Amino acid sequence: MRTGGAVGNDERMNTAGDTVTVVGIGADGWAGLAEPGRAAVRAAEVLLGGPRQLELVAGRTKAEQRPWPSPMLPALPGLFAELAGRRVCVLASGDPMLHGVGATLARVLGPQRLDVLPHPSSVALACARLGWAADTVEVVSAVAHPLARVRRALAPGARVLVLSADADTPRSLAALLVEAGFGPSSMTVFAQLDGPAETRVDGTADGWGHAPDDPLNLVAVTCRAAAGTRRWGEVPGLPDDAYAHDGQLTKREVRAVTLAHLAPLPGELLWDVGAGNGSVGIEWLRAHRTCRAVAVEADPERAARITANADALGVPDLRVVHERAPAALVGLPPPDAVFIGGGVTSSGVFDACWAALRPGGRLVANAVTVEAEAVLAGGHGRLGGELTRLAVSRSSPVGRFTGWRPAMPVTIWSVVKHADGGGPP
């Protein structure tokens, strides 16, 4: 994939449909396009984009103008097969590779078929207006994503840029900030950035009374916490009361050790089997914004509680499967890690998890009963790995004094799957 160079002859651009040129365009339209972008638009036989982008170049090209089909993603392979052999240019807002259609096309068509000519993104423009260093800013897209993702980024002093889904996003964001205890946070809404109709509105979340305006907007937030607001750390082991639960919860200290064995890495997928109230899957997702997780829970009340906990802790993309394992595991994408927190003694659960686990993946299982410990000991005997027994005591009043109240000890088995399907020798 080439980015940013000059557009050359037509053959290099789109011979036999091999290359699709993706041109970033701002709210300033044709006036803001550099000559390579203008040349690509003029040379196109077919111009694809949203209605707003297509309107920005009206009268500047003789190309057939086609808005994206809806729903877009499943239609893309057929659309580009139909357009094979024609010079195709795609118009995208700002930088096509920053939460834009360029990244989608790279996944669908392959990066080798793309010739990307980026425009300054709304993120870059907002940082320029505010004097913010871009590498200090957390960017959260609310376009086709739940706004609750913002919660994961909230911390005193944090700078967050929210890409709005529509004109009402700023008002919804203000309400979310107030609910999360960040009502004093400052908010700046930019609309039509870099265009002739650019506007800016400033205020605080708890005093936000501005009516919805332009749907093409971005919200800049400087986070400030109200007095008494709870603050959640970035590392695993959130306090137990960070979760709504019915007692079926992997406790804080055990959770931290369990996550250390699971060792989440960017982009990896976790199966949290017998998820209880979802704490392990949620903290896996909080480890990195690209991590993915599926929580499998048969109890309907707990499954609903997992969703509520995930929203409250800023990871609403957690997928919840309300069904009993191992049947619930059929058809799920192969995991990079598996945590079995409940159901380790159920027939077929471990075998299904181990069979699906990718080579190099980690499986961690916890046990508190003698029967479950026997399953873990048997697995360790066959596949190796590491057994850990964790005993935790917490202080508790004893009359006028303080003593230690021990929790039930937990046995943790962790094992890595080798390429041959086995564990360590």
* Domain 2-119 homologous superfamily, CATH: Tetrapyrrole methylase, N-terminal domain (3.40.1010.10)
* 124-222 classified as CATH 3.30.950.10: yes
Q: What are phi and psi of 274, to 5 degrees?
A: 70, 55
Give the pLDDT confidence score for residue 213 in this predicted structure. Answer: 80
Q: Which amino acid is at 405?
A: R
Model pLDDT, residue 12? 34
The fold for domain 240-416 equals Rossmann fold (3.40.50)
CA-CA distance, 290 to 212, in Å (whole number)? 31
Please state at what angle helix 252-262 crosses helix 279-287, rounded to 10 degrees: 50
pLDDT of residue 422: 67
- CA pair distance 353, 331, nearest whole angstrom: 12
* Structure token digits, residue 101: 């259609």
Q: Which residues make Cβ contacts (< 8 Å) with residue 123, sequence separation at least 6? A: 94, 95, 98, 134, 137, 139, 161, 163, 218
Q: Which pLDDT value is given to residue 6?
A: 39
- Report residues of the chain scoring pLDDT below 70: 1-17, 421-425
Point out which residues pair with 219 in neighbouring strands. 162, 189
Residue range(s) occupied by CATH 3.40.50.150 in the chain: 240-416
CA–CA gap between residue 329 and residue 351 (Å, rounded): 11
Give the pLDDT of residue 1: 60
Torsion sign (Cα): 357, 358, 359, 361: negative
Q: Is 398 helix (H, G, I), strand (E, B) or coil?
A: strand
> According to the model, what pLDDT value does residue 11 have?
34
How far, in Å, CA of 193 to CA of 180, rounded? 28
Query: pLDDT tens digits, residue range 214-223?
Result: 999 999 999 9
Residue-level pLDDT at 280: 98
| DSSP string for residues in 225-245 | PPTT-----SSS---GGGS--
CA distance 95 to 298: 43
Q: What is the pLDDT of residue 343?
A: 86
Instruction: Report the pLDDT value the prediction gives residue 423, as an integer from 0 to 100.
Output: 65
**67-74 own/partner pairs: CB under 8 Å, 24+ apart:** 72/104, 73/104, 73/108
Sign for the pseudo-dihedral over CA of 251, 257, 263, 265: positive
- How do beta strands 64-67 and 46-49 pair? parallel
Beta-bridge partner residues of 181: none
Tokens 């040349």 found at: 39
Residue (of 122, 108, 112) closest to 24 by Cα position: 122
Tell me, what's the pLDDT at 425? 47
